[in-house]
C-alpha cells in the first residue's frame, strides 16, 4: 500500500486555487453578499481584473459594447458568468496537465470538467433548486480534483486496480481505495479542505460517485453524479477508468427523471458541445 502521508503532502505542491476564487465562491453562496462586495474583491487583484476584461471583450461573448469595468462586466454578463470566468482562470492551469495514470492527455481532464459543469447546469435548471445552481455547477467542475494527485499513484498500480475491476466487478473508485489506500473522492475532499472550500462543496467532491447510500438522498450530490455519468456516456475524455462506476437507477427515479428526460439531456449536451469547446480556450 502507498504511503498515504506522502500523498497528502503532495496537496501542498498543487498549484492552489487562488484565494480570490475561493473567496468569491464563498460570497456567491452567501445570500447577503452584494454585487459591490464581489466586484471590490476582483478589483483588488489587478491581474485578474485585466484578464477578466480581456475575456469579456473576446469574440466568444460578442457583447454589444466594450466592457470597461468589473462592475460593468457583472451587470452586463450576470454574476454567474463572471464567477465562472474567475474559477476557470484559477483552475485551468492545474486541470490542463497530462495525467498518465488515468490515460488522459493534456487538457483532457479540463475538457471533462468543463463539460460536466455544463451538463450539471442543465440538470440544475430542470431538477435542482434554483438557488443552488452555482454550487452544482462549480462542484461538477472541481469534483475530480483528487485525480490531479492520485494520477501518478494510479499509474503505478493500474494493473492491480484493473484486476479488481475486471475480475471482481469492483468500481474503479472502490478498487483505487483498496489498492492505493485512498480514492480520488477522498483525496479530492482533502484538497477541498485545504483550499477552504465550503463544507457542502467538500461533501459533494467526497461522494460524487454515490458509493455512500446517504449521499444518494442529497439532491445536489446526485445531480453532480449524473452530470459526470452523462459525460462518461458521451465519451468525453473518458480515460483508463472508462465507465467502471456504479449506476444507480433509483436516483433517477426519485427525481422523476424518465428515460425520455435522460436522452433529452444527453441530446442537449451534445448539441452544445461545440460551444463548450470554445469555453475551453478562453
Q: Does residue 249 belong to the site contacting another protein (CB under 8 A)?
A: yes
Q: Given the complex with another protein, which of 95 and 248 has the nearer CB atom?
A: 248
> Applying CB under 8 A, does 213 fall inside the site for another protein?
no
CB of 229 to another protein, least distance (A): 7
- Of 96, 103, 152, 194, which one interacts with another protein (CB under 8 A)? 103
* Rounded Cα distance, 269 and 266, in Å: 5
- Residue 26 vs 266, nearer CB to another protein: 266
* Rounded distance between C-alpha atoms, residue 131 and residue 220, angstroms: 11
Angle among Cα 146, 195, 251 to the nearest 5 degrees reads 50
Stretch that binds another protein, among 77-85, 89-97, 216-224, 244-252 (CB under 8 A): 244-252
Based on the shown chain and the rule CB under 8 A, indicate whether residue 65 belongs to the binding site for another protein.
no
247 contributes a contact to another protein by CB under 8 A: yes
d(CA 57, CA 86): 15
The four Cα atoms 50, 54, 56, 57 give a dihedral, to 10 degrees, of 140
C-beta of 36 vs 243, nearer to another protein: 243
For another protein, which is the closer residue by CB, 78 or 270? 270
CB of 147 to another protein, least distance (A): 15
Residues in the chain: 282
What value, to the nearest 5°, has the Cα angle with vertex 208 and ends 269 and 224? 30
Q: Does 239 interact with another protein (rule: CB under 8 A)?
A: yes
Q: Grid coordinates representing 271?
A: 448539441
- Contacts with 226 (C-beta within 8 Å, 6 or more apart), sequence order: 119, 123, 251, 252, 257
CA contacts within 13 A on the Cβ side of 183? 20
Pick from 44, 98, 106, 169 the residue near another protein by CB under 8 A: 169
What does the binding site for another protein look like in residue numbers (CB under 8 A)? 103, 158-159, 162, 165, 169, 171, 229, 232-240, 242-249, 252, 259-264, 266-268, 270-271, 273
Amino acid at each position: 500500500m502507498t504511503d498515504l502521508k506522502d500523498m497528502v503532502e503532495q496537496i501542498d505542491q498543487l498549484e492552489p486555487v487562488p484565494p480570490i476564487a475561493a473567496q468569491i465562491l464563498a460570497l456567491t453562496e452567501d445570500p447577503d453578499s452584494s454585487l459591490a462586495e464581489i466586484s471590490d474583491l476582483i478589483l483588488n487583484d489587478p491581474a485578474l481584473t485585466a484578464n477578466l476584461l480581456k475575456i469579456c471583450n473576446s469574440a466568444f461573448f460578442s457583447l454589444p459594447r466594450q466592457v470597461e469595468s468589473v462592475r460593468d462586466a457583472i451587470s452586463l454578463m450576470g454574476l454567474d458568468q463572471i464567477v465562472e470566468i474567475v474559477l476557470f482562470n484559477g483552475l485551468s492551469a492545474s486541470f490542463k496537465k497530462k495525467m498518465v495514470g488515468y490515460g488522459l492527455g493534456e487538457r483532457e481532464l479540463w475538457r471533462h470538467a468543463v463539460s460536466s459543469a455544463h451538463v450539471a447546469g442543465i440538470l440544475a435548471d430542470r431538477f435542482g433548486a434554483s438557488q443552488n445552481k452555482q454550487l452544482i455547477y462549480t462542484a461538477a467542475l472541481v469534483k475530480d480534483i483528487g485525480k490531479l494527485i492520485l494520477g501518478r499513484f494510479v499509474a503505478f498500480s493500474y494493473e492491480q486496480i484493473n484486476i479488481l475491476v475486471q475480475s471482481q466487478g469492483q468500481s474503479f473508485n472502490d478498487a483505487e481505495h483498496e489498492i492505493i489506500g485512498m480514492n480520488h473522492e477522498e483525496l479530492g475532499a482533502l484538497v477541498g479542505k485545504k483550499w477552504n472550500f465550503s463544507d457542502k462543496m467538500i461533501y459533494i467532491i467526497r461522494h460524487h460517485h454515490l458509493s455512500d447510500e446517504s449521499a444518494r438522498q442529497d439532491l445536489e450530490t446526485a445531480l453532480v453524479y449524473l452530470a459526470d455519468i452523462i459525460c462518461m456516456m458521451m465519451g468525453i475524455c473518458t480515460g483508463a477508468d472508462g465507465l467502471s462506476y456504479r449506476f444507480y437507477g433509483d436516483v433517477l427515479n426519485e427525481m422523476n427523471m424518465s428515460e425520455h428526460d435522460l436522452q433529452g439531456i444527453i441530446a442537449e449536451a451534445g448539441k452544445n458541445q461545440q460551444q463548450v469547446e470554445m469555453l475551453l480556450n478562453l
